[in-house]
Amino acid sequence: MTALTPRRSEPDLSYLLDHTSHVLRTRMAAELAEIGLTARMHCVLVHALEEERTQAQLAEIGDTDKTTMVVTVDALEKAGLAERRPSSTDRRARIIAVTEAGARLAAESRRIVDGVHAGALGSLPEEEREVLVRALGRLAGDHLKTPVEAPATARRARQKN
């Protein structure tokens, strides 16, 4: 550090959140890949099982663009894990219905995801786990709930070499 380097007045929250989120996602991706799923496929299966949902609703829940959702549902259909069906409440809408094989795999993927989360939280003392989850929940539901429009696409924060 040189005399010209500005001193930090706050911790680098962007790096901390981005790095831990990235590592968590890579661990989850590796474990889900062992059963032939991606995180997006897991998200679609789990949320489609909760209630009747359209592809657009699932895309919104998963914060996924429409094109990516189409590709994800196509892959789930090809694997026999889900299918597009007419909605029981709106004959113009089509919902994503999870097959029996998809429901079994969703239960397994839920255990995997819960295990990855438990492993991360388990590395902290119990009282810190509760504080972290509560604080992140508060940030996600309030101050950091909605992204703002930016002139350039925000990219993943720097990585340590």
Q: What's the predicted TM-score (pTM) here?
A: 0.83
> Taking a C-beta distance cutoff of 8 angstroms, is the pair 81, 98 a contact?
yes
Dist CA 123 CA 24 (whole Å) = 13
When pLDDT is cut at 50, 70 and 90, the band that residue 88 belongs to is: confident
The one-letter amino acid at 69? M
Dist CA 85 CA 91 (whole Å) = 10
Total domains in the fold of the chain: 1
For residue 102, the SS3 value is: helix
Q: pLDDT digit string (tens) for 5-64?
A: 788 788 899 999 999 999 999 999 999 999 999 999 999 999 999 999 999 999 999 989
What are residue 144's phi and psi, to 5 degrees? -110, 30
Which CATH number goes with the domain that contains 53? 1.10.10.10
Residue-level pLDDT at 158: 54
Domain enclosing residue 115, as ranges = 13-141
Q: Is residue 17 part of a domain?
A: yes
